Amino acid sequence: MNKTLMIVLIVLIFLADILWQMYRNKKRDAFFNELSHFLAVKDFDAFDKLIEDKKVKRLFPPYNIAFLKLNEALIKGNAKQIDQAFEQFDGPMNKIQKEALYRKAFIYYVEVEDKDKAKNYYDLLKQLNPKDQLSLDATFDTYINKGYRYLEPSLEEIEKLNEEEKIPYAVLIAEMYRNKKENDKAEEYEKIVSEYTEKLLKNEGGL
């Protein structure tokens, strides 16, 4: 084969591959936006129909499909369906995927005060050595053990943070003071949460 022709063919194959990937990405984004819209308006029938579409299953990895179904279950608020949705992640996952899943599960089970399941995902998260180890430990102790063991470290940490980053720590600190029966200090940090949250919303809204 002529060398010039060979180079032209290689370039054409390369371009065809790029165009195919662009097409796939565009289709995937369109499906994702459609699925997200159905969840936002709580059109679960339309979501269920689309998520089972063969085209969607070809474009999205199993983890992404499972995560979308998990979000649907959480929005529905059906405890049994949520448990099943968390249990469906039985395939291989990288560290980022594991942390996203375990964190979502941990927060959910803390909110519903399921100590055993919260402890399970708390332990799984700790194995990944997350950067926010202090807030993880403090959340478990504060909401599950009803303690305030991490009050002093949290008070030290909040001083290092910007206003947006202070919000979750202020929530934790307020709850720790509630557990400690120091309601005046709890209210002080609850006011900080309200103040910083309002300011953040105004900034995001361009007000």
Q: Which pLDDT tens digit goes with each residue over 129-172? A: 888 899 999 999 999 999 999 999 999 999 998 888 899 999 99
How far from the centroid of its chain's Cα atoms is residue 89's Cα?
15
Of the candidates 177, 171, 176, 165, the residue with the CA atom closest to the CA atom of residue 194: 171
State the average pLDDT over residues 112-136.
Answer: 92
Please give the Cα distance from 121 to 137 (Å, whole number). 12
